[in-house]
Amino acid sequence: MPHIVGTRYALGRLGWVVAALAALRVVLPLLVLAELGPPGVPDFRYDGLTGDATGYYAAVRELIAGWRRPPAVLVVLTLAFVGSATAALAWAWRRLPGRRPWIVVSVAFVFALAFCVPVASMSSPGAGVVGWPLVWSLPLHPWRALGLPLDPDGAYAVAIVLSLAANAVSVVATAYAGLFATGRRTVAVGAAAMLAIWPLLTGLVTGERGWENGTWAVDVGLAAYTEPLSTALVTVSLALLLSPGATDVRLAVAGASLGLATTAKLSNGLLLGGALVLLAARVGLRRSLPFAAGGAAFVPLVAAYWSKGYPAILDVNPDAWPSDPFELDHAVAAWTESLLLTPAMLLLLVPFAIVGAWRLGPGWRFQLLVFWSLLNPIVYSFYFVTPLHPRVLFASLPAVFVLWVLGAVTVSTAAADRLRPRAVGHGGSAAT
């Protein structure tokens, strides 16, 4: 896009608008939780953890308890390793600026490796993934270390704070993804606004059907599910990859963000792999190494938890999934029976997003945004629960909104140009 040349990539005063949009994403669910929600949004009353949140909470408790089960010497050695590594990496960050990408990778690896200790000793909690319980448990570790009791209601309050913070991060990261992809502040703010008002938009377009099966509560962060964290992590990575002249440090952070996102939602690993292929094609294998290493840092954690996740759930309840959870036959139902992505919603989103992709033109930004937008819809088109659980597609929404707003701006600008009266010369013919 030629207009990007010479663009100053900063939101400027519109940063306050983005901050207000992020605040909207936080305030709306809090009002609903306090039973003060505005008209047109569903009611929500907390009555204990439900659905997948019960498994995530069980995983939180198991993670915290997992530190007490290994031999004490192993725990002491782990804590000593973390402490010494932290001190060494802090020293290296100040003294060795050229090594900072690898310091970022090392921090991610130390974090993941340390938590392999409680993960290895924990019982299978009934949660398919460990990323969200791990993040949820971080502020609860010192709470339990002080000997204070942990109950579902108190843990839920912590989960709400973390989920709403993740949603706010997603709004800001979406704004920067739009800015870096197009160089237009209007697209940046528009994409952030789309994500901020999405919980309201779903009801306007699909009616109450789009809120069923807890979809709305998951979206706004009131269900204590993994989606807010997953979306925030992948959107931060998207913005970093799109940033102009992305440094090796940014690439390392982007990779680590996607690595942690994979522990929260396994399909994000496909996003990591695809982004690595695109990045290597753009900057070469050597420059892609910090990104690849950042993502790989979390492989030990994924491997340590693997047998305690979905395989353990199937061992306990073999009927939890059908024998063919992914199959071509599920594709039709995924897009004709979806609670949220109804034909009306797709008609609203898809045409403008296609125009936005066309407006970007071929190149890195086009490849990355289209890949980010399509991976989850393609993968989960063949998943048997997609119609009833459209939340599996939420991580693609920020990229879709960037393309959608760019498409809407392109169409509106073209329409305005066609409707604008042409200047007429003295000879009666249109001036050229």
Sign of the four-CA dihedral 330, 332, 337, 342:
positive
Closest by CA position to 156, among listed 82, 249, 94, 221: 221
**Which tens digits make up the pLDDT trace of 211-261?**
889 999 999 999 999 999 999 999 999 999 999 988 999 999 999 999 999
pLDDT at 133 over 90: yes
How many structural domains are present in the chain? 1
Closest by CA position to 181, among listed 367, 12, 18: 367
Structural domain for 303, as ranges: 9-326
382 located within any domain = no
Per-residue confidence (pLDDT) for residue 431, from 0 to 100: 41
397 located within any domain = no
Find where tokens 């459209």 sit. 390
* Residue range 302-323: mean pLDDT, rounded: 87
234 located within any domain = yes
**Which tens digits make up the pLDDT trace of 2-27?**
444 445 578 888 899 999 999 999 99
**Which tens digits make up the pLDDT trace of 139-179?**
999 988 888 888 999 999 999 999 999 999 999 999 999 99
225 located within any domain = yes
DSSP summary character for residue 328: T
Are 196 and 419 contacting, i.e. CB atoms less than 8 angstroms apart? no
Helix (H, G, I), strand (E, B) or coil at 424: strand
Instruction: Give the number of C-alpha atoms closer than 13 A to the C-alpha of residue 45, restricted to the C-beta side.
Output: 1
**Which tens digits make up the pLDDT trace of 62-75?**
999 999 999 999 99
Whether this model's pTM surpasses 0.85: yes
**Which tens digits make up the pLDDT trace of 87-128?**
999 999 999 999 999 999 999 999 999 999 999 999 999 999
